[in-house]
Amino acid sequence: MFRIFALSFLVLTTTMAPVRAADHVVNMLNRGDDGIMVFEPGLLVIEPGDTVRFVAADRGHNAETIDGMVPEGAAGFEGRLNEEVLFSPDTEGVYAIKCKPHYAMGMVMIIAVGDVQAPDGLVSRRVPPRARKRFEAYLDAL
C-alpha cells in the first residue's frame, strides 16, 4: 500500500511541476551584426509569459512598441532613454519594437509571441524606409 501511495505521489508531484517562463536579453547597440543602430537579436520568438530584458549596451537608446503594430488587445510599453526595460507579453502575436531616437535609421525589431506567422499589412507606409527594410527581413525570417 505504501509503495502505491509513494508512486502516486511521485507521479502527482512531477506532473504538477511549474513551467518556468524564459528570460531573454536584447541589447540596444550603436553597431552590431546587422549594421548600425540595432537591437540584437532583431527577431525574437518567445512564449507567452516569457520576459524580454532590453539592455542599453550603448547609451542613447530606448525600446518601445509601435502604435498599431501590436496584437489586438495587447498592451504596449515605452521605455526611457538609457534605461533597462522589462517586457512580459501574455498575448500571442507579433510586436513591432523601435528605438524612438533611431527609428528613422532603422533601429527596429520583431518579437513573435507564440506559434504565429507574420501578419499581412503589419508594416504600413508610415514606417521610415530603413525601418521598413529591416522589418520586412525579420518578417520574412519568421
Binding residue ranges for Cu cation? 61, 99, 102, 107
CA atoms 94, 111, 137, 126: torsion sign: positive
Binding-site residues: 61, 99, 102, 107
